[in-house]
Amino acid sequence: MKKLISLPINQKIAMMDRRISRRKALSTIGKITITAVVAGAIAGIGGYYLGSSTAPTKTVVKTTTTTATKGVPTTVTKTVTKTVTQSPTYSLTPKRKYKWGIAPYYVDDDWYRVDIIGAQHYAEMRGYELIVQNPHGKIEEQIKEIRYMVTGMGIDGLIVTPCDAVVIIDTLEWAKEQGVPIIATFYDVETDAVDLSIIPDFKWIGKRMAEELIKAAEKDGVSISGPVFIVTGPSVDYQSKTLTEGEKEFLEKYPDLEVVVLECPNWGTDEAINRVVEGYHGYGRPLAILANNMTTGVGIVEGVKTAGIAAPRGEEGHVYLASFDGCKSIQDAMEEGLLDCFADIANPHIDCIAQDFLWIIKEMGADKLPDVGVTIISDPTKSLGPQPDGTWNLPQMGKEVKGVNPWAIAPWAPAKMTMFENYHKRIQTGASIVTPETLQEFKEYSWVKLVDAWLG
């Protein structure tokens, strides 16, 4: 299997005092994220369309009306036998209790804890067994745990978020040689040993964040001119780089804007505060500021306060702010009128649907995954698989757990099936794009609510 050189992603990360470390840590491995589509109540799940088999015969009663004599219609009923094509269906119930192994980046803060707890609940609902390891962000431990799950525990499939996307390659190729299908979540790996990856479409998310800020400014009658700051993480980071590409692509449509990129090499909140203050003194009051992860999101809110340019929505001089993340501090800032938009990811959905895609690969083969270019939806009223309109449906299983049911919606969908270079298929998900008008609705399915319900 051909390998390409890629920059390592296990950057050193300084944790914040509050329980918000997950977003900063995962930012160094290309995090996660979603346009929320309310799927409604979870209904019965139909079968999987594999394609046409031997076409069965069907008796059809056909009624025709002819006119033998002018003005006098004649009705004739005929019974005919003809061949029709019917789609064979398959129960979504697994043929046996598959044992999946999950190798996350780390499970050391609240966000990741509820993600893994949700994946465990989902496995139980679907009749799977899910074995969880925790390497605490250390690639050496992750490699040992993957090898143990394959040889010592006999897993049927592997879900992995790599601690280091380069170092992990040899181990994943070894696991594939043992017959273990592999799905990468939240970040990708340059090897065809991976059957499928499920990754947020960061470029699209960046465009949408920028778009919402400009829409808010236009609605307020503010001139779309002046500096706009993009507060990024390290320049080599995949998430930050692709978010910035999307943000700049949208903002550069406006000739009177001056887009200024301010880098925070360690994703630090203090770094972000300083960059905002420095940017203000160097370029003047910005029209808007975008932050590319949670810790820098908190930083830009504190930054406008430190710079003395904080003004709530609706007041003169308001600086339009957006953040990639939806922790409680970010939600509070929106309610205070300081933040105008944030994007957030599906939790715990991605590590849940990865289990269903492993099931499809295991029982039907990787060639039964959606084709490249197809839009993947999640509609509980439709059967699993290809739909007449060209989409491909993956209905989520889900029920209430301790008073909450995060699977009643599918914030990862619609998603697009693409190719990751020439290695393997990749599902690119969207994000929840949250504004003040949609904040209360978002809170009902936010991971913050899962923390309160499952960890409180």
Q: What is the DSSP string of 6-52?
A: --------PPPSSS-HHHHHHHTT-----------S------B----
Residue 429's nearest CA partner among 414, 451, 442, 448 is: 414
List all residues 6 or more positions away from 199 whose beta carbon is below 8 Å from its beta carbon.
30, 184, 185, 186, 187, 188, 420, 426, 427, 428, 429
Residues 182 and 284 in one domain: no
* pLDDT digits 0-9 by tens, 112-159: 999 999 999 999 999 999 999 999 999 999 999 999 999 999 999 999
Last residue of a domain, one of 320, 344, 368: 344
Residues 159 and 221 in one domain: no
The whole-angstrom separation of Cα 445 and Cα 41 is 14
pLDDT at 116: 98
Locate tokens 């409680």: which residue? 328
* pLDDT digits 0-9 by tens, 233-270: 998 888 899 999 999 999 999 999 999 999 999 999 99
Residues 262 and 387 in one domain: no
The whole-angstrom separation of Cα 162 and Cα 140 is 11
**Residue 403 pLDDT grade (very low, low, confident, very high; cuts 50, 70, 90):** very high
Residues 224 and 312 in one domain: yes
Residues 124 and 147 in one domain: yes
User: Is the pLDDT reported for residue 7 higher than 70?
Assistant: no
User: What is the chain's mean pLDDT, rounded?
Assistant: 84
CATH assignment of the domain containing 324: 3.40.50.2300
Residues 261 and 361 in one domain: no
Residue 365's domain comprises 99-194+347-429
* Polymer length in residues for the chain: 456
The CA-based angle 137-140-142, given to 5 degrees, is 60
pLDDT at 301: 98
Last residue of a domain, one of 344, 372, 398: 344
Residue 55 lies in a domain: no
Provide the percentage of residues in the chain whose pLDDT is more than 70: 80
Mean pLDDT of 100-121: 95
pLDDT at 404: 94
Residues 407 and 362 in one domain: yes
The whole-angstrom separation of Cα 303 and Cα 271 is 10
Whether the CB-CB separation of 377 and 141 falls below 8 Å is answered with no
Residues 248 and 184 in one domain: no
Residue 13's nearest CA partner among 333, 352, 249, 239 is: 239
Residues 111 and 221 in one domain: no
Last residue of a domain, one of 276, 310, 344: 344
Mean pLDDT of 209-227: 98
pLDDT at 48: 23
* pLDDT digits 0-9 by tens, 363-390: 999 999 999 999 999 999 999 999 999 9
The whole-angstrom separation of Cα 2 and Cα 336 is 51
> How many domains in the chain?
2
pLDDT at 91: 54
Residues 359 and 238 in one domain: no
Residue 30 lies in a domain: no
Residues 333 and 212 in one domain: yes
